[in-house]
Amino acid sequence: MLGFDPMTLPAAYLLAAAAACPGAAAPIVHMDFVVTPAIQRNDLSSQNLGAFHISTTFSHSNRETWAVGGLTLSDFDPSYLIDFNLATNADGASCVSISTVQITVKYAPTIYVASEFKPGTCRFDSTLQHEARHVNTDIITFNELLPQLRQAVEDAAVAVGSVGPVAADQLIPARDKMVDRIKAALEAKAAEVEQLRFNRQQMIDTRQEYLRLSNLCQNAQ
- What is the model's pLDDT at position 9? 39
Q: Tell me, what's the pLDDT at 15?
A: 40
Whose CA is closest to 172, among 160, 163, 161?
163
pLDDT of residue 65: 60
CA 170-150-158 angle, 5° bins = 40
Q: Can you give the residue ranges of every domain in the chain?
A: 13-216
Q: Are 10 and 83 in contact (CB under 8 A)?
A: no
The angle subtended at Cα 212 by Cα 198 and Cα 202, nearest 5°, is 5
Q: Are 134 and 63 in contact (CB under 8 A)?
A: no
d(CA 115, CA 49): 10
Residue 58 has a pLDDT of 57
What's residue 89's pLDDT?
82
The tens-digit pLDDT sequence of the chain (221 residues) is 333 333 333 333 334 434 578 877 899 999 999 999 999 999 999 999 988 877 766 555 556 566 788 999 998 889 999 999 988 887 888 999 999 999 999 999 999 999 999 999 999 999 999 999 999 999 999 999 999 999 999 999 999 999 989 998 899 999 999 999 999 999 999 999 999 999 999 999 888 888 888 888 877 65
Q: Please, what sign has the CA dihedral across residues 55, 60, 64, 69? A: negative
Q: Is the pTM of this model over 0.85?
A: no
